[in-house]
Amino acid sequence: MTATPSTPAAAAAPVAAANDLAFDVIVIGAGYGGFDAAKHGADHGLRVAIVESRDMGGTCVNRGCVPSKALLAASGRVRELADADHLAGFGIHAAPVRFERQKIADHAAQLVATIRANLTKALERAGVTILRGKGRLEGPQRVVVRESGSGIERVYSAREVIVATGSDPFVPPGISTDGRTVFTSDEAINLEWLPRWITIIGSGYIGLEFADVYTALGCEVTMIEALDRVMPTFDPDITKIAARHLIDARDIDARTGVLAKTITPGCPVRIELVDMATKEPVETLEVDAVLVATGRVPVSKDLNLASVGVETSRGFLPVDETMRVLASHEAGAAVVPHLWAVGDVTGKMMLAHTAAAQGAVAIDNILGHERRIDYRSIPAATFTHPEISSVGLSEADAKTLAAQEGFELGTVRSYFKANSKALAELETEGLMKLLFRKDTGEVLGAHLFGLHAADLIQEIANAVARRQSVRQLAHEVHTHPTLSEVVEVAYKQAALAVGA
Ligand SMILES: Cc1cc2nc3c(=O)[nH]c(=O)nc-3n(C[C@H](O)[C@H](O)[C@H](O)COP(=O)(O)OP(=O)(O)OC[C@H]3O[C@@H](n4cnc5c(N)ncnc54)[C@H](O)[C@@H]3O)c2cc1C
Protein backbone atom coordinates (compact mmCIF):
# COMPACT_ATOMS: atom_id res chain seq x y z
CA MET A 1 0.00 0.00 0.00
CA THR A 2 1.42 3.36 -0.91
CA ALA A 3 0.33 5.87 1.66
CA THR A 4 1.86 8.37 4.01
CA PRO A 5 0.64 8.08 7.61
CA SER A 6 0.21 11.06 9.85
CA THR A 7 -1.24 11.20 13.37
CA PRO A 8 -4.57 12.81 14.27
CA ALA A 9 -2.62 15.44 16.19
CA ALA A 10 -0.87 16.36 12.98
CA ALA A 11 -4.19 16.73 11.18
CA ALA A 12 -4.16 20.51 11.36
CA ALA A 13 -0.57 20.69 10.11
CA PRO A 14 0.25 20.57 6.39
CA VAL A 15 -0.22 17.02 5.24
CA ALA A 16 2.92 15.08 4.37
CA ALA A 17 3.56 14.43 0.69
CA ALA A 18 1.95 11.35 -0.71
CA ASN A 19 3.67 8.84 -2.91
CA ASP A 20 3.16 9.63 -6.55
CA LEU A 21 -0.25 8.62 -7.84
CA ALA A 22 -0.70 5.48 -5.80
CA PHE A 23 -4.04 4.85 -7.45
CA ASP A 24 -5.63 5.68 -10.78
CA VAL A 25 -8.88 6.48 -8.98
CA ILE A 26 -9.90 7.06 -5.37
CA VAL A 27 -13.63 7.05 -4.73
CA ILE A 28 -14.87 8.68 -1.51
CA GLY A 29 -18.07 6.94 -0.39
CA ALA A 30 -19.19 3.36 -1.02
CA GLY A 31 -22.88 3.89 -1.72
CA TYR A 32 -24.45 2.84 -5.00
CA GLY A 33 -22.67 5.63 -6.91
CA GLY A 34 -19.25 4.93 -5.43
CA PHE A 35 -19.68 1.18 -5.76
CA ASP A 36 -20.53 1.31 -9.46
CA ALA A 37 -17.71 3.73 -10.21
CA ALA A 38 -15.15 1.62 -8.29
CA LYS A 39 -16.23 -1.69 -9.78
CA HIS A 40 -16.53 -0.37 -13.32
CA GLY A 41 -13.06 1.21 -13.02
CA ALA A 42 -11.42 -1.93 -11.61
CA ASP A 43 -13.18 -4.12 -14.21
CA HIS A 44 -11.53 -1.94 -16.85
CA GLY A 45 -8.04 -2.27 -15.44
CA LEU A 46 -7.79 0.85 -13.27
CA ARG A 47 -6.12 0.70 -9.84
CA VAL A 48 -9.02 1.80 -7.64
CA ALA A 49 -9.44 2.50 -3.92
CA ILE A 50 -12.76 3.23 -2.23
CA VAL A 51 -13.10 5.01 1.12
CA GLU A 52 -16.08 4.32 3.39
CA SER A 53 -16.67 5.73 6.87
CA ARG A 54 -19.89 3.86 7.73
CA ASP A 55 -21.42 0.74 6.18
CA MET A 56 -20.45 -0.51 2.74
CA GLY A 57 -23.38 0.03 0.39
CA GLY A 58 -24.38 3.46 1.72
CA THR A 59 -27.95 4.67 2.05
CA CYS A 60 -29.57 2.43 -0.57
CA VAL A 61 -28.33 -0.84 0.84
CA ASN A 62 -28.38 -0.03 4.57
CA ARG A 63 -31.03 2.63 5.13
CA GLY A 64 -32.90 3.12 1.85
CA CYS A 65 -34.06 1.12 -1.14
CA VAL A 66 -33.19 -2.34 0.12
CA PRO A 67 -34.72 -2.43 3.62
CA SER A 68 -37.69 -0.27 2.61
CA LYS A 69 -38.54 -2.62 -0.26
CA ALA A 70 -38.27 -5.60 2.10
CA LEU A 71 -40.75 -3.92 4.47
CA LEU A 72 -43.03 -3.07 1.55
CA ALA A 73 -42.90 -6.65 0.27
CA ALA A 74 -43.93 -8.07 3.64
CA SER A 75 -46.51 -5.43 4.52
CA GLY A 76 -47.88 -5.64 0.96
CA ARG A 77 -48.62 -9.34 1.56
CA VAL A 78 -50.41 -8.44 4.78
CA ARG A 79 -52.48 -5.83 2.93
CA GLU A 80 -53.40 -8.36 0.23
CA LEU A 81 -54.41 -11.07 2.70
CA ALA A 82 -56.37 -8.63 4.83
CA ASP A 83 -58.32 -7.29 1.84
CA ALA A 84 -61.37 -9.53 2.28
CA ASP A 85 -63.37 -7.80 -0.49
CA HIS A 86 -60.61 -8.27 -3.05
CA LEU A 87 -60.14 -11.93 -2.12
CA ALA A 88 -63.91 -12.52 -2.13
CA GLY A 89 -63.90 -11.37 -5.76
CA PHE A 90 -61.91 -14.55 -6.51
CA GLY A 91 -64.14 -16.61 -4.19
CA ILE A 92 -61.37 -16.81 -1.59
CA HIS A 93 -62.14 -16.43 2.11
CA ALA A 94 -58.96 -16.32 4.18
CA ALA A 95 -58.61 -16.54 7.94
CA PRO A 96 -57.84 -13.26 9.75
CA VAL A 97 -54.26 -12.35 8.90
CA ARG A 98 -51.60 -12.46 11.64
CA PHE A 99 -48.09 -11.11 11.33
CA GLU A 100 -44.97 -10.84 13.49
CA ARG A 101 -43.47 -7.36 13.41
CA GLN A 102 -40.06 -8.59 14.51
CA LYS A 103 -39.89 -11.21 11.74
CA ILE A 104 -40.74 -8.54 9.17
CA ALA A 105 -37.97 -6.35 10.61
CA ASP A 106 -35.59 -9.35 10.58
CA HIS A 107 -36.38 -10.01 6.92
CA ALA A 108 -35.31 -6.45 6.07
CA ALA A 109 -32.17 -6.66 8.26
CA GLN A 110 -31.13 -9.99 6.74
CA LEU A 111 -31.59 -8.71 3.24
CA VAL A 112 -29.42 -5.68 4.07
CA ALA A 113 -26.67 -7.94 5.47
CA THR A 114 -26.76 -10.22 2.42
CA ILE A 115 -26.66 -7.42 -0.15
CA ARG A 116 -23.96 -5.54 1.80
CA ALA A 117 -21.79 -8.67 1.91
CA ASN A 118 -22.34 -9.40 -1.80
CA LEU A 119 -21.44 -5.87 -2.74
CA THR A 120 -18.27 -5.87 -0.61
CA LYS A 121 -17.20 -9.22 -2.09
CA ALA A 122 -17.85 -7.96 -5.61
CA LEU A 123 -15.50 -5.02 -4.99
CA GLU A 124 -12.82 -7.26 -3.45
CA ARG A 125 -13.06 -9.72 -6.32
CA ALA A 126 -12.68 -6.87 -8.81
CA GLY A 127 -9.44 -5.88 -7.01
CA VAL A 128 -10.67 -2.64 -5.44
CA THR A 129 -8.76 -1.55 -2.30
CA ILE A 130 -11.26 -0.82 0.48
CA LEU A 131 -10.12 1.89 2.91
CA ARG A 132 -12.23 2.09 6.07
CA GLY A 133 -12.36 5.65 7.38
CA LYS A 134 -13.45 9.19 6.64
CA GLY A 135 -12.00 10.76 3.52
CA ARG A 136 -11.40 14.40 2.67
CA LEU A 137 -9.63 16.22 -0.10
CA GLU A 138 -6.24 17.77 0.46
CA GLY A 139 -5.68 19.72 -2.72
CA PRO A 140 -5.77 18.25 -6.22
CA GLN A 141 -5.30 14.47 -6.59
CA ARG A 142 -4.89 13.88 -2.84
CA VAL A 143 -7.19 12.31 -0.30
CA VAL A 144 -6.63 12.10 3.44
CA VAL A 145 -8.29 9.15 5.15
CA ARG A 146 -8.87 9.24 8.89
CA GLU A 147 -9.01 5.54 9.69
CA SER A 148 -12.07 4.28 11.56
CA GLY A 149 -11.09 3.10 15.05
CA SER A 150 -7.43 4.18 15.21
CA GLY A 151 -8.06 7.74 14.04
CA ILE A 152 -4.75 7.62 12.18
CA GLU A 153 -4.69 9.78 9.09
CA ARG A 154 -3.05 8.66 5.87
CA VAL A 155 -2.61 10.55 2.67
CA TYR A 156 -3.30 8.82 -0.63
CA SER A 157 -2.76 10.16 -4.07
CA ALA A 158 -4.62 9.35 -7.25
CA ARG A 159 -4.76 10.50 -10.83
CA GLU A 160 -8.52 11.08 -10.42
CA VAL A 161 -10.76 11.49 -7.36
CA ILE A 162 -14.49 10.76 -7.38
CA VAL A 163 -16.67 12.20 -4.63
CA ALA A 164 -19.66 9.92 -3.93
CA THR A 165 -20.54 10.90 -0.37
CA GLY A 166 -24.32 10.76 -0.81
CA SER A 167 -26.95 12.36 1.37
CA ASP A 168 -28.55 12.29 4.82
CA PRO A 169 -32.17 12.92 5.87
CA PHE A 170 -33.10 16.59 6.17
CA VAL A 171 -34.69 17.56 9.46
CA PRO A 172 -36.23 21.06 9.28
CA PRO A 173 -35.51 23.60 12.03
CA GLY A 174 -37.94 23.34 14.97
CA ILE A 175 -38.09 19.55 14.78
CA SER A 176 -36.12 17.52 17.32
CA THR A 177 -35.57 13.84 16.71
CA ASP A 178 -34.82 11.24 19.38
CA GLY A 179 -34.63 8.24 17.03
CA ARG A 180 -37.44 6.48 18.89
CA THR A 181 -40.59 8.61 18.97
CA VAL A 182 -39.51 11.17 16.38
CA PHE A 183 -37.32 9.70 13.68
CA THR A 184 -36.31 9.75 10.03
CA SER A 185 -36.22 6.92 7.49
CA ASP A 186 -32.78 5.98 8.91
CA GLU A 187 -34.58 4.57 11.98
CA ALA A 188 -37.97 3.77 10.42
CA ILE A 189 -36.42 1.00 8.33
CA ASN A 190 -35.66 -0.89 11.60
CA LEU A 191 -39.42 -1.18 12.31
CA GLU A 192 -38.62 -1.34 16.03
CA TRP A 193 -42.24 -0.78 17.03
CA LEU A 194 -45.61 -0.07 15.48
CA PRO A 195 -47.13 3.16 16.80
CA ARG A 196 -50.90 3.16 17.05
CA TRP A 197 -50.95 6.67 15.57
CA ILE A 198 -48.06 8.03 13.53
CA THR A 199 -47.68 11.35 11.81
CA ILE A 200 -45.64 11.43 8.63
CA ILE A 201 -44.21 14.81 7.72
CA GLY A 202 -43.97 15.04 3.92
CA SER A 203 -45.86 13.35 1.09
CA GLY A 204 -42.94 12.62 -1.22
CA TYR A 205 -42.03 9.09 -2.21
CA ILE A 206 -40.44 8.17 1.14
CA GLY A 207 -43.48 9.41 3.10
CA LEU A 208 -45.83 7.56 0.75
CA GLU A 209 -43.90 4.28 0.95
CA PHE A 210 -43.83 4.33 4.74
CA ALA A 211 -47.53 5.29 4.86
CA ASP A 212 -48.12 2.17 2.75
CA VAL A 213 -46.15 0.02 5.22
CA TYR A 214 -47.70 1.51 8.37
CA THR A 215 -51.32 1.40 7.19
CA ALA A 216 -50.91 -2.21 5.99
CA LEU A 217 -49.69 -3.10 9.47
CA GLY A 218 -52.66 -1.43 11.16
CA CYS A 219 -51.30 1.99 12.16
CA GLU A 220 -53.34 5.15 11.82
CA VAL A 221 -51.47 7.83 9.83
CA THR A 222 -51.71 11.60 9.71
CA MET A 223 -49.82 13.03 6.75
CA ILE A 224 -48.65 16.62 6.91
CA GLU A 225 -47.81 18.42 3.67
CA ALA A 226 -46.65 22.04 3.74
CA LEU A 227 -47.59 22.69 0.12
CA ASP A 228 -51.21 23.08 -0.95
CA ARG A 229 -51.62 19.59 -2.37
CA VAL A 230 -50.43 16.12 -1.40
CA MET A 231 -47.74 14.50 -3.55
CA PRO A 232 -46.62 17.87 -4.96
CA THR A 233 -43.68 16.38 -6.89
CA PHE A 234 -45.87 13.96 -8.89
CA ASP A 235 -47.83 14.52 -12.10
CA PRO A 236 -51.16 16.17 -11.12
CA ASP A 237 -53.33 13.61 -13.00
CA ILE A 238 -51.41 10.70 -11.52
CA THR A 239 -51.70 12.35 -8.10
CA LYS A 240 -55.49 12.50 -8.41
CA ILE A 241 -55.90 8.77 -8.94
CA ALA A 242 -52.97 7.73 -6.73
CA ALA A 243 -54.07 9.88 -3.79
CA ARG A 244 -57.58 8.42 -4.04
CA HIS A 245 -56.21 4.90 -3.62
CA LEU A 246 -53.09 5.38 -1.54
CA ILE A 247 -54.35 8.07 0.84
CA ASP A 248 -58.13 8.67 0.79
CA ALA A 249 -59.07 4.97 0.77
CA ARG A 250 -56.81 4.22 3.75
CA ASP A 251 -56.59 5.11 7.39
CA ILE A 252 -54.74 8.31 6.50
CA ASP A 253 -55.75 11.83 7.41
CA ALA A 254 -53.87 14.11 4.99
CA ARG A 255 -53.46 17.79 5.89
CA THR A 256 -52.13 20.19 3.26
CA GLY A 257 -50.95 23.79 3.54
CA VAL A 258 -49.83 23.26 7.13
CA LEU A 259 -46.34 23.34 8.55
CA ALA A 260 -45.08 21.35 11.51
CA LYS A 261 -43.45 24.32 13.26
CA THR A 262 -42.18 22.39 16.24
CA ILE A 263 -42.10 18.71 17.07
CA THR A 264 -41.14 17.60 20.54
CA PRO A 265 -40.31 13.93 21.13
CA GLY A 266 -41.85 12.07 24.07
CA CYS A 267 -44.98 10.19 25.05
CA PRO A 268 -47.00 11.66 23.47
CA VAL A 269 -45.08 13.48 20.75
CA ARG A 270 -46.33 17.08 20.46
CA ILE A 271 -46.66 18.66 17.03
CA GLU A 272 -47.41 22.34 16.70
CA LEU A 273 -49.08 22.94 13.33
CA VAL A 274 -49.23 26.40 11.77
CA ASP A 275 -50.85 27.63 8.59
CA MET A 276 -48.20 27.59 5.86
CA ALA A 277 -49.26 30.96 4.42
CA THR A 278 -50.10 32.99 7.54
CA LYS A 279 -47.94 31.10 10.04
CA GLU A 280 -50.91 31.33 12.45
CA PRO A 281 -51.33 28.34 14.83
CA VAL A 282 -53.75 25.73 13.46
CA GLU A 283 -53.69 22.87 15.93
CA THR A 284 -51.47 20.93 18.32
CA LEU A 285 -51.43 17.19 17.71
CA GLU A 286 -50.43 14.61 20.29
CA VAL A 287 -49.43 11.38 18.59
CA ASP A 288 -47.43 8.24 19.37
CA ALA A 289 -44.68 8.79 16.80
CA VAL A 290 -43.50 11.03 13.97
CA LEU A 291 -41.61 10.09 10.82
CA VAL A 292 -39.85 13.11 9.33
CA ALA A 293 -39.70 12.57 5.56
CA THR A 294 -38.90 16.07 4.34
CA GLY A 295 -36.16 15.37 1.83
CA ARG A 296 -32.43 14.81 1.98
CA VAL A 297 -29.33 16.97 2.23
CA PRO A 298 -25.93 16.33 0.62
CA VAL A 299 -22.99 15.10 2.69
CA SER A 300 -20.20 17.46 1.67
CA LYS A 301 -19.31 19.83 4.48
CA ASP A 302 -16.29 17.92 5.81
CA LEU A 303 -14.75 17.26 2.39
CA ASN A 304 -12.41 20.29 2.47
CA LEU A 305 -13.69 21.40 -0.93
CA ALA A 306 -11.99 24.76 -0.41
CA SER A 307 -8.65 22.99 -0.94
CA VAL A 308 -9.66 22.39 -4.56
CA GLY A 309 -11.53 25.67 -5.03
CA VAL A 310 -15.06 24.26 -5.27
CA GLU A 311 -18.08 26.29 -4.16
CA THR A 312 -21.23 24.29 -3.43
CA SER A 313 -24.84 25.40 -3.52
CA ARG A 314 -26.76 24.23 -0.42
CA GLY A 315 -23.98 21.63 -0.15
CA PHE A 316 -24.55 20.11 -3.62
CA LEU A 317 -21.46 19.74 -5.78
CA PRO A 318 -21.64 21.39 -9.20
CA VAL A 319 -21.02 18.91 -12.01
CA ASP A 320 -21.30 18.85 -15.77
CA GLU A 321 -22.89 16.02 -17.76
CA THR A 322 -19.62 14.09 -17.88
CA MET A 323 -19.59 14.17 -14.03
CA ARG A 324 -16.57 16.48 -13.88
CA VAL A 325 -16.78 18.82 -10.88
CA LEU A 326 -17.07 22.53 -11.69
CA ALA A 327 -15.70 25.37 -9.59
CA SER A 328 -19.23 26.64 -8.86
CA HIS A 329 -22.86 26.44 -9.98
CA GLU A 330 -22.45 29.67 -11.97
CA ALA A 331 -22.93 29.40 -15.74
CA GLY A 332 -19.60 28.91 -17.48
CA ALA A 333 -17.77 27.81 -14.31
CA ALA A 334 -14.45 26.11 -15.00
CA VAL A 335 -13.87 22.38 -14.70
CA VAL A 336 -11.81 21.39 -11.65
CA PRO A 337 -9.11 19.08 -13.00
CA HIS A 338 -8.99 15.44 -11.80
CA LEU A 339 -12.15 15.79 -9.68
CA TRP A 340 -15.48 14.06 -10.31
CA ALA A 341 -18.72 13.72 -8.34
CA VAL A 342 -21.57 11.25 -8.62
CA GLY A 343 -24.77 10.36 -6.78
CA ASP A 344 -26.96 12.24 -4.31
CA VAL A 345 -24.16 14.70 -3.47
CA THR A 346 -24.70 16.20 -6.96
CA GLY A 347 -28.43 16.69 -6.27
CA LYS A 348 -29.50 15.33 -9.66
CA MET A 349 -32.47 12.92 -9.49
CA MET A 350 -31.46 11.52 -6.11
CA LEU A 351 -31.97 7.82 -6.84
CA ALA A 352 -29.74 4.78 -6.56
CA HIS A 353 -29.73 3.96 -10.26
CA THR A 354 -28.94 7.60 -11.11
CA ALA A 355 -25.93 7.41 -8.78
CA ALA A 356 -24.80 4.16 -10.38
CA ALA A 357 -25.27 5.53 -13.91
CA GLN A 358 -23.30 8.66 -13.02
CA GLY A 359 -20.52 6.48 -11.55
CA ALA A 360 -20.20 4.53 -14.79
CA VAL A 361 -20.24 7.76 -16.85
CA ALA A 362 -17.43 9.24 -14.70
CA ILE A 363 -15.27 6.15 -15.17
CA ASP A 364 -15.90 5.97 -18.93
CA ASN A 365 -14.73 9.56 -19.22
CA ILE A 366 -11.69 8.81 -17.05
CA LEU A 367 -10.94 5.92 -19.41
CA GLY A 368 -11.06 8.39 -22.28
CA HIS A 369 -14.43 7.33 -23.67
CA GLU A 370 -16.32 10.63 -23.69
CA ARG A 371 -19.86 10.01 -22.41
CA ARG A 372 -22.64 12.19 -21.04
CA ILE A 373 -25.42 11.29 -18.66
CA ASP A 374 -28.97 11.45 -20.05
CA TYR A 375 -31.21 12.35 -17.11
CA ARG A 376 -34.32 12.46 -19.31
CA SER A 377 -34.27 8.69 -19.77
CA ILE A 378 -33.79 7.83 -16.07
CA PRO A 379 -37.01 6.42 -14.62
CA ALA A 380 -38.27 6.91 -11.07
CA ALA A 381 -40.60 4.70 -9.05
CA THR A 382 -42.51 4.72 -5.79
CA PHE A 383 -43.10 1.22 -4.49
CA THR A 384 -46.51 1.70 -2.92
CA HIS A 385 -49.34 -0.78 -3.59
CA PRO A 386 -50.08 -0.08 -6.42
CA GLU A 387 -46.88 1.57 -7.66
CA ILE A 388 -46.22 4.98 -9.21
CA SER A 389 -43.57 5.62 -11.85
CA SER A 390 -42.40 8.19 -14.32
CA VAL A 391 -39.74 8.97 -16.88
CA GLY A 392 -38.78 11.98 -18.92
CA LEU A 393 -40.40 15.38 -18.83
CA SER A 394 -43.24 16.47 -16.61
CA GLU A 395 -46.25 17.77 -18.55
CA ALA A 396 -45.41 21.34 -17.46
CA ASP A 397 -41.80 21.03 -18.73
CA ALA A 398 -42.99 19.38 -21.95
CA LYS A 399 -45.36 22.32 -22.54
CA THR A 400 -42.51 24.78 -21.99
CA LEU A 401 -40.31 22.84 -24.43
CA ALA A 402 -43.15 22.75 -26.98
CA ALA A 403 -43.51 26.53 -26.75
CA GLN A 404 -39.74 27.06 -27.04
CA GLU A 405 -39.25 24.72 -29.96
CA GLY A 406 -42.57 25.42 -31.69
CA PHE A 407 -44.09 21.93 -31.77
CA GLU A 408 -47.46 20.66 -30.60
CA LEU A 409 -47.46 18.48 -27.51
CA GLY A 410 -49.42 15.24 -27.70
CA THR A 411 -50.94 13.58 -24.62
CA VAL A 412 -52.74 10.24 -24.47
CA ARG A 413 -54.08 8.22 -21.57
CA SER A 414 -54.26 4.45 -21.32
CA TYR A 415 -56.28 2.80 -18.54
CA PHE A 416 -55.64 -0.40 -16.61
CA LYS A 417 -59.39 -1.08 -16.46
CA ALA A 418 -59.27 -1.93 -20.19
CA ASN A 419 -56.38 -4.39 -19.72
CA SER A 420 -57.12 -8.15 -19.58
CA LYS A 421 -54.34 -8.97 -17.13
CA ALA A 422 -55.37 -6.20 -14.74
CA LEU A 423 -58.97 -7.42 -14.99
CA ALA A 424 -57.86 -10.99 -14.23
CA GLU A 425 -55.99 -9.74 -11.17
CA LEU A 426 -58.98 -7.62 -10.09
CA GLU A 427 -56.53 -4.70 -9.96
CA THR A 428 -57.97 -2.33 -12.51
CA GLU A 429 -57.14 0.97 -10.89
CA GLY A 430 -54.43 2.53 -12.98
CA LEU A 431 -53.52 5.12 -15.54
CA MET A 432 -50.68 5.79 -17.92
CA LYS A 433 -50.17 9.22 -19.40
CA LEU A 434 -47.84 9.45 -22.40
CA LEU A 435 -46.31 12.72 -23.60
CA PHE A 436 -44.96 12.98 -27.14
CA ARG A 437 -44.18 15.41 -29.93
CA LYS A 438 -46.99 15.58 -32.47
CA ASP A 439 -44.57 16.49 -35.29
CA THR A 440 -41.97 13.71 -34.95
CA GLY A 441 -43.79 11.35 -32.60
CA GLU A 442 -40.80 11.37 -30.21
CA VAL A 443 -41.68 10.16 -26.72
CA LEU A 444 -40.97 12.91 -24.19
CA GLY A 445 -42.18 11.30 -21.00
CA ALA A 446 -44.65 9.03 -19.25
CA HIS A 447 -46.38 8.97 -15.88
CA LEU A 448 -47.99 5.85 -14.46
CA PHE A 449 -50.01 4.63 -11.52
CA GLY A 450 -51.07 1.02 -11.31
CA LEU A 451 -50.07 -2.57 -10.70
CA HIS A 452 -46.32 -3.07 -11.42
CA ALA A 453 -45.93 0.50 -12.70
CA ALA A 454 -42.28 0.39 -11.56
CA ASP A 455 -41.58 -2.45 -14.00
CA LEU A 456 -43.73 -1.03 -16.80
CA ILE A 457 -41.85 2.27 -16.91
CA GLN A 458 -38.64 0.60 -18.11
CA GLU A 459 -39.78 0.05 -21.68
CA ILE A 460 -40.77 3.71 -21.99
CA ALA A 461 -37.44 4.75 -20.42
CA ASN A 462 -35.65 2.73 -23.10
CA ALA A 463 -37.72 4.46 -25.79
CA VAL A 464 -36.87 7.87 -24.32
CA ALA A 465 -33.17 6.92 -24.19
CA ARG A 466 -33.28 6.17 -27.92
CA ARG A 467 -35.47 9.22 -28.63
CA GLN A 468 -37.85 6.84 -30.39
CA SER A 469 -41.04 7.83 -32.12
CA VAL A 470 -44.47 6.41 -31.35
CA ARG A 471 -44.70 5.68 -35.09
CA GLN A 472 -42.10 2.95 -34.67
CA LEU A 473 -43.08 1.96 -31.10
CA ALA A 474 -46.70 1.33 -32.13
CA HIS A 475 -45.49 -1.58 -34.28
CA GLU A 476 -43.77 -3.40 -31.40
CA VAL A 477 -45.71 -6.51 -30.42
CA HIS A 478 -46.50 -6.96 -26.73
CA THR A 479 -47.26 -10.26 -25.00
CA HIS A 480 -50.93 -10.95 -24.37
CA PRO A 481 -52.28 -10.83 -21.73
CA THR A 482 -49.80 -8.64 -19.86
CA LEU A 483 -49.86 -5.25 -18.22
CA SER A 484 -47.37 -4.11 -20.86
CA GLU A 485 -50.34 -3.84 -23.22
CA VAL A 486 -51.27 -0.69 -21.28
CA VAL A 487 -48.12 0.80 -22.82
CA GLU A 488 -48.89 -0.69 -26.23
CA VAL A 489 -52.35 0.91 -26.22
CA ALA A 490 -50.81 4.30 -25.36
CA TYR A 491 -48.27 4.00 -28.19
CA LYS A 492 -51.01 3.07 -30.66
CA GLN A 493 -53.26 5.98 -29.62
CA ALA A 494 -50.29 8.34 -29.87
CA ALA A 495 -49.38 6.99 -33.32
CA LEU A 496 -52.93 7.78 -34.50
CA ALA A 497 -52.54 11.29 -33.10
CA VAL A 498 -49.36 11.86 -35.14
CA GLY A 499 -51.06 10.46 -38.22
CA ALA A 500 -49.11 7.23 -38.51
C1 LIG B 1 -35.99 5.25 2.69
C2 LIG B 1 -35.34 5.40 1.33
C3 LIG B 1 -35.78 4.63 0.28
C4 LIG B 1 -35.18 4.74 -0.96
N5 LIG B 1 -35.65 3.97 -1.98
C6 LIG B 1 -35.09 4.07 -3.19
C7 LIG B 1 -35.52 3.24 -4.27
O8 LIG B 1 -36.43 2.43 -4.11
N9 LIG B 1 -34.91 3.36 -5.47
C10 LIG B 1 -33.90 4.26 -5.67
O11 LIG B 1 -33.37 4.33 -6.78
N12 LIG B 1 -33.45 5.06 -4.67
C13 LIG B 1 -34.01 4.97 -3.45
N14 LIG B 1 -33.55 5.76 -2.42
C15 LIG B 1 -32.49 6.75 -2.71
C16 LIG B 1 -31.12 6.07 -2.73
O17 LIG B 1 -30.92 5.40 -1.51
C18 LIG B 1 -30.02 7.10 -2.94
O19 LIG B 1 -30.32 7.85 -4.09
C20 LIG B 1 -28.68 6.42 -3.14
O21 LIG B 1 -28.35 5.70 -2.00
C22 LIG B 1 -27.60 7.46 -3.43
O23 LIG B 1 -26.38 6.81 -3.57
P24 LIG B 1 -25.00 7.57 -3.34
O25 LIG B 1 -23.94 6.60 -3.72
O26 LIG B 1 -25.02 8.87 -3.99
O27 LIG B 1 -24.95 7.91 -1.79
P28 LIG B 1 -25.17 7.07 -0.46
O29 LIG B 1 -25.89 5.82 -0.72
O30 LIG B 1 -25.73 8.02 0.53
O31 LIG B 1 -23.69 6.64 -0.06
C32 LIG B 1 -22.71 7.56 0.29
C33 LIG B 1 -21.70 6.85 1.16
O34 LIG B 1 -20.61 7.72 1.38
C35 LIG B 1 -20.17 7.58 2.71
N36 LIG B 1 -19.45 8.79 3.08
C37 LIG B 1 -19.93 10.05 3.21
N38 LIG B 1 -18.95 10.91 3.49
C39 LIG B 1 -17.82 10.18 3.55
C40 LIG B 1 -16.47 10.51 3.80
N41 LIG B 1 -16.08 11.77 4.01
N42 LIG B 1 -15.55 9.51 3.79
C43 LIG B 1 -15.93 8.23 3.55
N44 LIG B 1 -17.19 7.86 3.31
C45 LIG B 1 -18.12 8.83 3.29
C46 LIG B 1 -21.44 7.37 3.49
O47 LIG B 1 -21.17 6.73 4.71
C48 LIG B 1 -22.23 6.49 2.54
O49 LIG B 1 -22.00 5.13 2.79
C50 LIG B 1 -34.11 5.66 -1.15
C51 LIG B 1 -33.64 6.43 -0.08
C52 LIG B 1 -34.25 6.31 1.14
C53 LIG B 1 -33.73 7.13 2.28
**CATH number of the domain to which 353 belongs:** 3.50.50.60
| Per-residue model confidence (pLDDT) at position 20 | 54
Question: Averaged over 264-292, what is the pLDDT?
Answer: 97
Q: How many CB atoms lie within 10 A of CB 483?
A: 24
Residue 76: enclosing H or E segment and its boundaries? helix 65-82
| Per-residue model confidence (pLDDT) at position 22 | 87
Residue numbers annotated as active site = 480
Residues 20 and 143 in one domain: yes
Distance between terminal CA atoms of the chain?
63
Q: What DSSP state is assigned to residue 10?
A: G
| Per-residue model confidence (pLDDT) at position 17 | 45
Residue 30's nearest CA partner among 7, 61, 69 is 61
| Per-residue model confidence (pLDDT) at position 11 | 39
373, 404, 420 — which closes off a domain? 373
Q: How far apart are CA 486 and CA 155, in angstroms?
A: 55
| pTM given for the model | 0.95
* Domain boundaries, position 240: 182-294
Is the pLDDT score of 23 beyond 70? Answer: yes
Q: How far apart are CA 430 and CA 452, in angstroms?
A: 10
Residues 254 and 283 in one domain: yes
Closest ligand 1 atom to the C-alpha of 346?
26
Whether 42 is in the pocket of ligand 1, judged by its Cβ within 6 Å, is: no
294, 312, 340 — which closes off a domain? 294
Whether 61 is in the pocket of ligand 1, judged by its Cβ within 6 Å, is: no
Residues 319 and 434 in one domain: no
**How many independent structural domains does the chain possess?**
3
Residues 189 and 153 in one domain: no
Residues 208 and 302 in one domain: no
Q: Three-state SS for 137? A: strand
In a domain, 71, yes or no: no
| Per-residue model confidence (pLDDT) at position 21 | 67
Whether 387 is in the pocket of ligand 1, judged by its Cβ within 6 Å, is: no
Residues 340 and 401 in one domain: no
| Per-residue model confidence (pLDDT) at position 257 | 97
Q: How far apart are CA 461 and CA 381, in angstroms?
A: 12
In a domain, 70, yes or no: no
Residues 51 and 142 in one domain: yes
Q: How far apart are CA 430 and CA 134, in angstroms?
A: 46
| Per-residue model confidence (pLDDT) at position 500 | 72
Question: Averaged over 65-87, what is the pLDDT?
Answer: 97
Is the pLDDT score of 8 beyond 70? Answer: no
Question: Which residue among 165, 214, 304 has the greatest number of ligand 1 atoms within 8 angstroms of its CB, and so is best to mutate?
Answer: 165
Question: Which residue among 39, 56, 65 has the greatest number of ligand 1 atoms within 8 angstroms of its CB, and so is best to mutate?
Answer: 65
d(CA 164, ligand 1 centre) in Å: 9
Residue 64's nearest CA partner among 439, 383, 367, 430 is 383
Convert the pLDDT of each residue in 334-372 to its tens digit: 999 999 999 999 999 999 999 999 999 999 999 999 999
Whether 207 is in the pocket of ligand 1, judged by its Cβ within 6 Å, is: no
d(CA 423, ligand 1 centre) in Å: 38
Convert the pLDDT of each residue in 424-456 to its tens digit: 999 999 999 999 999 999 999 999 999 999 999
Residues 152 and 209 in one domain: no
For the chain, what is the mean pLDDT? 95
Residues 480 and 391 in one domain: yes
Is the pLDDT score of 15 beyond 60? Answer: no
Whether 156 is in the pocket of ligand 1, judged by its Cβ within 6 Å, is: no
Convert the pLDDT of each residue in 109-136 to its tens digit: 999 999 999 999 999 999 999 999 999 9
In a domain, 92, yes or no: no
Percent of the chain, pLDDT > 70? Answer: 96
